[in-house]
Structure 1
């Protein structure tokens, strides 16, 4: 796919990569607030497999050049063969309930990066299938639905095969990359399947490649040619050779929330809707307009009300209200505290879905 791919178009034509049973888990979610400061130092894997040293000629090709003949192709092939085993060793099959996806172990303690639509919700039971044949138990932790990033942890065993995280901010379009996963779900007689491709689009919250992915690859890793994790398989576009991945830096930026088991954000097409407009230039969250039949209208909010609390969050102004609405999902039931004249009023509402 050519360079002019835009994020809005890609998200408009997305399709989930998980095995179909995952799809129902996706049907109601939201967009995160500004992420906390990166905590990369806290999540850097210990004793990860060392990145491969690449021949300068090969490094130039992997950075975005084209191979010029069979000798270059053989160099590329030899390098891929050299690192395949360690990439496969860290790639795991993931089973949550009756549905399957993929993931990648990013430290020896057994933390697993995956896609949010694979993990579904925090504190779910997970079965991990390792490439060496082990079947281990674990649990889901946090998820950011807006980027489709999820975190899980293996809860039995120790000293797992794992790979280091790279820097997705340093990526450039045209770079060669590798994706692994379990297309069609985990199969005991098959190692994780490896696909070679190139980066087509690099943005802060989404990477697009032409690594062909299918159902079951969701949550599997995207690697640079040194074998570092740079993304997580997320969504299929049209055609199948234009696929989207969660940049690994988004996991670093939100690590504390993910590790605590928080769930926030919404998937594309599932934007929550409150149905109010704030008073212009107000220094608080004063309502200037309520849309008829909106969740706000049905809950009894009135023009002139000042929203002071939304769920457990204090609201200081209208932008802060918008941020906390976007962190929710359609269908969420929220307690809202408002100042109405001299009174303090508590209301309950159910968020709608934008466009409905």
Structure 2
């Protein structure tokens, strides 16, 4: 009996020693994963509130830090009419010595300050055609007049300049290439004139191409953070308070689907906007889509490869070169074309006025076509 008791005591002691080692090792592992913040007594484990981006005030902190740099943009467009054809008649008004009647259209949008000296980034469509632009800035009793420094129609970006007379709060630009699908984001803007409205969501997808009216967007960030009319031009922020996108468009047929221009696009053209340099973009004048299973069956192709021409603009380089609807572009300027995006990238890499060759499948026959690259006209996709 005594021997069994000693054996039991030894087993319990060894088990306790092992458990102690495991517990200490486990605590060290947790400490490595979630290190205590500087200043914590004894280097204890971090609580949930101390973990970056997890605390209950994480989003509120970002909003309080960034909101002063988010602005409301108001525009006025002079349409030159009052709506009454008799009263608006210039001969009538001249005969009675009346000034010419004018009607104004007003618009609202968002933007954000990107430098202390008053540069403001927004969408081109927010200020397009405006005769007067004013900006509401936090801390100022009156709206500030703004002028357009540079604009890019195709990218839907515009850079404004304020003369505030003092340094302004501004937002840092983040790297949109590093953001991941599922990361939390914050949108701040002025939907329906409700200034500094905050919505949150995640990045739903990256690299989305969409078409809105006559404008073709490429490589957009998709988010489920609520974006509504008036949000255009406002910032899409990560949890560090950095701008990763410019809120731009919504899907009118769906709720919870919005799109933003990534900051990687802004970085490429910001200096051009500051210097009012209008980018020259190569163009051939075709609408294309990737070859899918339906196209394989209808065109008798061997596999889903190439860019299917679904439209050719009259008078364009593609039209002059003889491209037709139903052609499948397999190679362009020595670049193999696997899908529609490949063709877009290959065209972008060309120089205006350059002559390039394209390999095209038409009625199961491969033919070579010579195309002269042109400058893309405004308002054409």
Cα distance, 1:70–1:166 mapped onto 2, change above 3 Å? closer
Q: Residue 246 in 1 paired to residue 261 in 2? A: yes
1:108 match: secondary structure: coil
Alpha-carbon distance in 2 for matches of 1:73, 1:128: 34
- In the alignment, which of 169, 189, 192 is matched to residue 161 of structure 1? 169
Instruction: Give the corresponding residue for 1:114.
Output: 122
1:184 match: secondary structure: helix
- In the alignment, which of 355, 358, 363 is matched to residue 317 of structure 1? 355
**With CA pairs under 8 Å and 6+ residues apart, which has the higher RCO, 1 or 2?**
1
Q: How much has 1:128 moved relative to structure 2? A: 0.6
The answer on whether the counterparts of 2:70 and 2:235 sit within 8 Å (CA) in structure 1 is yes
Alpha-carbon distance in 2 for matches of 1:259, 1:321: 31
Alpha-carbon distance in 2 for matches of 1:263, 1:143: 8
Q: Show structure 1 runs of 5+ residues with no match.
A: 1-55, 59-68, 280-286, 292-312, 331-353
1:254 match: secondary structure: helix
Alpha-carbon distance in 2 for matches of 1:290, 1:173: 38
The answer on whether the counterparts of 1:272 and 1:328 sit within 8 Å (CA) in structure 2 is no
Q: Residue 141 in 1 paired to residue 149 in 2? A: yes
Alpha-carbon distance in 1 for matches of 2:244, 2:227: 16
Alpha-carbon distance in 1 for matches of 2:119, 2:63: 21
Identify, as 1 or 2, the structure richer in helix.
Answer: 2
The answer on whether the counterparts of 1:137 and 1:156 sit within 8 Å (CA) in structure 2 is no
- In the alignment, which of 249, 259, 281 is matched to residue 235 of structure 1? 249
Question: Taking structure 2 as the reference length, what is the TM-score of the superposition?
Answer: 0.52
Cα distance, 1:229–1:314 mapped onto 2, change above 3 Å? closer
Alpha-carbon distance in 2 for matches of 1:278, 1:250: 27
Instruction: Give the corresponding residue for 1:195.
Output: 199
Q: Which deviates further from its counterpart, 71-80 or 216-225?
A: 71-80
1:109 match: secondary structure: coil
Q: How much has 1:258 moved relative to structure 2? A: 1.3
Q: Which deviates further from its counterpart, 146-155 or 194-203?
A: 146-155
Instruction: Give the corresponding residue for 1:88.
Output: 67
Q: How much has 1:205 moved relative to structure 2? A: 2.7
Q: Residue 104 in 1 paired to residue 112 in 2? A: yes
Alpha-carbon distance in 1 for matches of 2:240, 2:352: 45
1:253 match: secondary structure: helix
Alpha-carbon distance in 2 for matches of 1:184, 1:173: 28
Offset from partner CA, 1:99-158 (integer Å, 9 cap, x none): 11000101101111111211215x954211012244211112322333322221113323
The answer on whether the counterparts of 2:120 and 2:160 sit within 8 Å (CA) in structure 1 is yes
Instruction: Give the corresponding residue for 2:225.
Output: 211
Q: Show structure 2 runs of 5+ residues with no match.
A: 1-32, 36-47, 77-105, 208-217, 288-310, 325-350, 358-370
Q: How much has 1:316 moved relative to structure 2? A: 3.3
Instruction: Give the corresponding residue for 2:379.
Output: 329
Instruction: Give the corresponding residue for 1:129.
Output: 136
Instruction: Give the corresponding residue for 1:256.
Output: 271
1:83 match: secondary structure: helix
2:57 match: secondary structure: helix
Alpha-carbon distance in 2 for matches of 1:263, 1:152: 15
Alpha-carbon distance in 1 for matches of 2:353, 2:245: 34
2:267 match: secondary structure: helix
The CA RMSD over aligned residues, in Å, is 3.6
Alpha-carbon distance in 2 for matches of 1:273, 1:155: 44
Offset from partner CA, 1:162-216 (integer Å, 9 cap, x none): 111000111110000100001112x5xxx50111110011227310100011111
- In the alignment, which of 182, 190, 196 is matched to residue 174 of structure 1? 182
